[in-house]
Structure 1
Amino acid sequence: MAEEDTLRGRDSEDGSQKLSGDTPRNTSLEQVAKPVHEQSPLLSPTETGHEEEEGLIEDGQVLEDDPLDSFQETKSLWYMILLTVSLGGLQLAWAVELSNGTPYLLSLGLSKSLMALVWIAGPLSGALVQPYVGMLSDNCRSPWGKRTPFMVAGSFATVVSLLALAWVREAVGGFLGLFGADRESQGVKVTIIVVAVMFVYILDFAINTVQAGIRAFILDCCPAHQQESANSMASRVVGVGNIIGYVAGFTDLPKFMWFFGNTQFKVLCVIACLSLSSTVALSVSTIRERDPRTEAEAPKRKGGLISFFKQVFSSIRQLPPQTRKVCEVQFMAWIGFFPQLFYSSSFVGDIYVQPYLEKNRNMTPAEIDELYEKATRVGSFALLVYAITSLATNVLLPFFIAPTYDAPSSAASEGSQKSYTTRIDRMLDKLVIPWLTLRRAWLCSHVIFASCMFSTLIVRSVGGATALIGIVGVSWALTLWAPFAIISAEISKRDALRRSREQNDDGLDKSSDDQAGVILGIHNMAVATPQIIATIGSSIIFRFFQKPRGTPGDRSISIVMAAGGLSTLVAAYLTSRIKDEIELPEGTVEEGRAVRGSRRSGEGRGLIRAGSFSGL
């Protein structure tokens, strides 16, 4: 009651206030939305002491976007492209490491038994680096923004480590040669391997730093009602990066780009470095973050490793309700996705070689190597189909998805609607399938993925296997889009509420709520940790079912992928427990407070679609 009296007192001081675009500038979000207090469902359930809420907002307590906040204005297509283009450059760096890293390390003399210890660096760095970088960036007070310094520093470290890895043989051999060491000696070869592995770990840590910064950068610079559109655009950019990477892998690059290096791996590393540095520079130079110096400083926390883990566990307990459920889904889903990502090409390749192995059981080692080289190219073609399907899904599916959040109802936004809405936009809006929310599409994608994984046990033709991997591209597209969109929308609204509290209290209120960086970092832990579990589980299955290379009848990869499908069915069930934003009647005003329904009319959806996809 005291809080409501305070609001009425402000109304009496300011005179009659309209709940529209002409709201006075000193009107805060708390004056145009239902008062937020300790029981607000926007706050963590552990802070309120009550049971977890099913949705982001309940019972009409939908937070209205601040019409005076330029970051909440509907953004155009080109803004979305510039905002997310850096993910495309980053994807090329990932593609180079994942697709060519293993053959390159084997060429240096690293044994297969030690390879698993090297590639465990990816999940480990994802589980540790991203939460830590998220915490650091949340507390960053740089005039360039919270995320930009980490994006730039991480990109620089990625470029250095990629180039050092590509030329490690020449660099280490040349350095030791200054002291009279023979480049062909065993000691020099071992040193080259050790240094190469060191740079692999540095590369994984650097890439995760860039990724943590970019994901938080996208969330911070995009309005709450366009988070689905922004993450859809991000997944498209990733799809383009994948296709470019696969096409580059097919091409004999040293023949055409000899000036970048004399091997395929060297040229790919240079291309990835140029792509990453140019796209990150384009994003940070054209998209400006908020100045963190204008916000209240976060409460000071102790440094050190123990303090870091304590804060991580505390943040996990305080996760927002929707984000918590998404992390649960991701944990189960990635137990299935990890084998599919790493073994799809081998699955298709094994099917390709089976008829040849059965016809000729006395092939020489050289003939077997040649056969598996052809199988690798066949498997790579399946991955290209997979990447094209994923990109096509990310381009087309958003036109059929019903956006969860409406655009702001302020006068400024209405003006933007008049500027953006065209006949084509209205035609595109008719394509929306009302019941097909992003959450439901994500659920369907899990079922599709599990069905394809189970089908690997019975498919025996290369064409059928290629089709299965191509269909999985639909699920991969939703995996790159849906979880980030759901989490980003919730965090964006929480951040808007936090800024309104700080503004209303003249910057004296130092909120203890976790911000975008640490929450996205915890989400990445939910993605990275199951990859370690999947690696161990796959090794156990291979231990019992794998046959020697060149022996017909090996179906161990199919068993591993089918086992991943079981965990994805659990993920589908967990996705069904995530609630879409509660539908409310047409926007109402209650006791002088603005209340906005999640799907009040088609106007908000049209504005979102116009701002995000016009000109596509």
Structure 2
Amino acid sequence: MDGPAASHPKVVSFRRSSEPGRGSVDALNEQSPLLLPRNSVNEAGHPLLQVVSPIGSDDWQGDADAETKSTWYLFLLTLGGLGLQIGWSVETSNGSPYLLSLGLSKSMLALVWIAGPLSGTLVQPYVGMKSDNCRLRWGKRRPFILGGAAATILSLMILAWARELVEGFLGIFGADKESQGVKMCVILFAVLFVYVLDFAINVTGIRAFLVDCAPTHQQESANAWMIRTSGIGNILGYLAGNANLPKYLPWLGNSQFKVLCALASMIMALTVAISCVSIKERDPKWDDDPPQQDGLLSFFKSLFRSVRMLPDQIKRVCEVQFFAWIGWFPFLFYITTYIGEIYVEPFFAANPNMTDAEIDEKWEEATRIGTRALLVFAITTFAASIFLPFIIPPSFEAPELQAATPMTPATPMTPHSAAGSGYFSLKHESKRPSKTRLKRLEDKLQVLQISSLTLRRSWLLSHLMFAFLMAMTFFVRSTTTATILVGLIGVPWALTGWAPFALISSEISKRDAMRRGLIRPSTRDAALVAAGEDEASSQGADQAGVVLGIHNVAIAAPQVIATLVSSAIFRLLQKPRGSTGDDSVAWVLRFGGCCALVAAYLTRRVKEEKEDADLRGRRAS
């Protein structure tokens, strides 16, 4: 060979063909700008790029898609979660007291919060599938993130001003705002927008955005950053809820809930906009053509087929989540009411004949006490999200790029963005890039890692800890003790927001990288994944939107069970508003703790890359 072509390796692709009946091998062509062949050498015979396997499995192929993203990049990638979490924290911490103040009963309140499970079961899988099939140049996820955030903001503001909107509208027709009919209309309107709000929140696909833009070896880190930014959102939301906001910001509303919704909306708009503008998705036009769908019936058929074909690892995580979230749902929605009941109990005992206005005033104070406990909970969660990734070793490590000497003067360049697109450019460097201060600090903190404490084992321990703390409600008698208990629950909550998503995201990303030729398969099953010929890959049942949608069903559907059980417990045990001795919420929390024990048992079946690699190493030795 002579001329310039002699020093330029050919570039091939392992993408699946969109033509029917063709596998990935048939789709190979020399013009596809996706993959550098293995063992490329220059004229002197020196390797251009060598990648060392991080877990001893020879899986890593290596490219810019697998290069380590900066901490700043991961922060911007997950920043949108901060704003959305503030909106969620406002709904969970103040939604129940707000609806109760409108005249809704506890038993009916439990049925209202079925909105979340319904929206998660129906909306997110549909939106996930639609985003997987989206081919807009903006990307697959960003159009849905922006649309969902806008709808969430609008729903929050309408919900906060529900009473004024309904009373003003009916007042046009001469209706008395104190009449029972107007009050009932206010309740129905507010309940309607609770549903709209939950549906809108589920349209945003921040988690799928994260899976698409972070490399496989950083999925755990990215999900850790997601729980950190969400933790900051929780802290801000609960900190604001603990203050007397109408006193300081009267121009945003005359009630706590109105000001909270206004602040949450402004922060949500800012953070989601920054995240979507800063992070670029890879152009979806390079993906295969999406399958044709004929209406809603076709969607449900496709969804049920995808559930059956889920990869085993993802199925096991979903099974754990099913039982875990029967326990978490009561805690998230009723813990403020639980602490509030402890606070108002002595006041109701001292004055059993309080007026409705006096009861409302005491419950306003009780809600602030409950929100203060949730602030402690959010701080603990954030602290755990910072500390735990340093003591839990990563399942994947970044592939190390060895120095290549001497180098050829030029290499093929392919379209890619700094935001983690699916296309890479191979860069020749004479030496390894220098480490940043943050990277050096992380290297030093590796001495804190407990080698036997894998992410899966930590998740199992979190279920046991949650169950134990729920059992401790038998002994709680003061708001101080209750606040300490709620603060401790921040530790298992940090793992709940990190471990399952990290395990699923790593599996999705790894399978996608295999199909695109970025990771070399080391087993027969992995080879089928790489060829797109295993059951899940061939039917698109391992795409980020579909999988995270189904995972959300595993989170949302059991909440229906929790809601129905909670409603039954409330009907049996609740007492009239203003009465003493109402411990119905405590029994709902204890029921959730029992379900966490089942989740802990099922977590034992979840596999983990690090454990599998250690087992292979022991067998080999």
Classify the TM-score, shorter chain: 0.7 to 0.9
1:424 aligned to 424, 436, 441, which one? 441
Percent of matched pairs sharing the same residue: 55
- 2:539 equivalent to 1:512: yes
Structure 1 residues 223 and 567 mapped into 2: Cα distance closer, same or farther (>3 Å)?
same
Q: What is the CA deviation profile of residues 49-78 of structure 1, one whole-angstrom value per residue up to 9, with x for unaligned ones? A: xxxxxxxx99x76642541xx332201111
Task: Assess, with a 3 A threshold, how the Cα gap between structure 1 residues 17 and 463 changes in structure 2: closer, same or farther.
Answer: closer
Superposed CA RMSD in Å reads: 3.8
Match of 2:332 in 1: 341
Q: Which residue of the partner structure matches residue 262 of structure 2?
A: 270
Code of the residue aligned with 2:506 in structure 1: it is A
Greater shift, 520-529 or 431-440, is seen at 431-440
3-state SS of paired residue (2:486): helix
**How big is each residue's C-alpha offset from its partner over 1:95-115, in whole Å with a ceiling of 9 and x where there is no partner?**
222233334344445555543
What is the alpha-carbon distance in structure 2 between the residues aligned to residue 538 and residue 343 of structure 1? 10
Name the residue aligned to 1:434: 451
Paired AA for residue 282 in structure 2: R
Matches within 5 A, 1:419-568: 419-420=435-436, 423-500=440-517, 511-514=538-541, 515-568=543-596
Match of 1:569 in 2: 597
1:130 counterpart residue number: 124
Query: Deviation at 1:205?
Result: 0.8
Q: 2: CA distance between counterparts of 1:152 and 1:254?
A: 29
Structure 1 equivalent of residue 524 of structure 2: none
Aligned in 2, Cα 1:209/1:21: closer, same or farther, shift over 3 Å? Answer: farther
Amino acid across the alignment from 1:209? V
- Cα deviation for residue 584 of structure 1 reads 7.5
Distance in structure 2 (CA, Å) of the matches to 1:21 and 1:537: 65
Alignment pair present for 1:162 and 2:151: no
Q: Does residue 280 of structure 1 match 2:302?
A: no
Q: How do residues 83-482 of structure 1 correspond to structure 2 at under 5 angstroms?
A: 83-110=77-104, 112-176=106-170, 188-210=182-204, 213-300=205-292, 302-354=293-345, 360=350, 362=352, 364-365=354-355, 371-411=362-402, 418-420=434-436, 423-482=440-499
Kindly provide the CA deviation profile for residues 564-592 of structure 1, in whole angstroms up to 9, marking residues without a partner as x: 11111111111122122156889xxxxxx
Q: How far apart, in 2, do the equivalents of 1:407 and 1:597 lie? A: 19
1:246-304, Cα deviation, whole Å (9 max, x unpaired): 1111222233223323333222222111111111111111100010001111332x322
State the TM-score, normalizing by the size of structure 2. Answer: 0.78
Letter in 1 for 2:152: T
Could you tell me how far 1:221 is from its partner in structure 2? 0.3
TM-score normalised to structure 1 length: 0.79
| Deviation sequence 1:478-503 (CA, Å, 0-9, x none) | 0011110000000001111233399x
Structure 2 equivalent of residue 605 of structure 1 = none
1:449 shift after superposition: 0.6
Question: Closer, same or farther in 2 for the Cα pair 1:361/1:102, shift >3 Å?
Answer: closer
- How far the C-alpha of 1:430 sits from its partner, in A, is 1.4
Counterpart-to-counterpart distance in 2, 1:543 and 1:20 = 71
Q: 1:149 and 1:357, CA in 2 relative to 1: closer, same or farther beyond 3 A?
A: closer
Query: Aligned to 1:402, what secondary structure does the other structure show?
Result: coil
Q: Deviations over 1:179-236 (max 9, x none)?
A: 66665666555444443333222211111101xx111001100010001111111001
d(CA) in 2 for partners of 1:107, 1:350: 15
Alignment of 1:64 onto 2:64:
no
Conserved in 2, the CA contact under 8 Å of 1:20 and 1:410? no
In 2, Cα distance between equivalents of 1:585 and 1:134? 32
User: 2-side partners of 1:105 and 1:355: how far apart?
Assistant: 23
Question: 2:71 aligned to 72, 77, 81, which one?
Answer: 77
Contact 1:446 1:571 in 2 (8 A): yes
Change in 2 beyond 3 A, CA 1:220/1:194: same
Deviates more, 1:488-497 or 1:260-269: 260-269
The runs of 5 or more residues in structure 1 that have no matched partner are: 11-15, 35-56, 587-595, 601-616
Q: CA deviation at 1:377?
A: 3.4
Tell whether the 8 Å contact from 1:224 to 1:489 is kept in structure 2 after alignment: yes
Letter aligned with residue 419 of structure 1:
K
**Alpha-carbon spacing, 1:319–1:32, altered in 2? closer, same or farther (3 Å):** farther
Q: Which residue number in structure 2 is paired with residue 606 of structure 1?
A: none
How far did residue 350 of structure 1 move? 3.4
Question: AA paired with 2:231?
Answer: G
Q: For residues 160 and 373 of structure 1, do their structure 2 counterparts lie closer, same or farther at Cα, with a shift above 3 Å needed?
A: closer
Written as runs of structure 1 = structure 2, the 5 A alignment for 1:595-610 is none
Question: Is contact 1:86-1:280 (8 Å) kept?
Answer: yes
Q: Which moved more, 1:381-390 or 1:396-405?
A: 381-390
Q: Deviations for 1:372-413, whole angstroms, at most 9, x for unmatched residues? A: 554433333222211111111001111111000121233479
More displaced, 445-454 or 574-583? 574-583
SS class of match (1:500): coil
For structure 2, the 5+ residue unaligned runs are 1-22, 31-35, 403-425, 520-526
Change (3 A) 1:553 1:230: same
Deviations 1:401-453 (A, max 9, x none): 10001212334799666434764333112111111111111111111111111
Q: Which residue of 2 aligns with 1:13?
A: none
Matched residue of 2:475: which SS? coil
> Relative to 1, partners in 2 of residues 1:569 and 1:143: Cα closer, same or farther, differing over 3 Å?
same
Offset of residue 171 of structure 1: 3.9
Structure 1 partner of 2:405? none
Note the alpha carbon deviations across 1:351-374, whole angstroms, 9 max, x for none: 44555666x475545666655554
State which drifts further: 147-156 or 380-389.
380-389
Q: Contact conserved, 2:396 with 2:610, CA < 8 A, in 1?
A: no
SS where residue 299 of structure 1 aligns?
Answer: coil
| 192-201 vs 377-386, which moves further | 192-201
CA change 1:585–1:164 in 2 (3 A) is: closer
Check conservation: 1:89, 1:272, Cα contact below 8 A: yes
Amino acid at match of 1:64: W
Q: Do the aligned residues in 2 keep the contact of 1:89 with 1:277 (CA within 8 Å)?
A: yes
> Aligned partners of 1:566, 1:110: CA distance in 2, in Å?
28
Q: Contact 1:19–1:32 (CA<8 Å) still a contact in 2?
A: no
Change (3 A) 1:524 1:22: farther
* In 1: Cα distance, 2:576 partner to 2:304 partner: 44
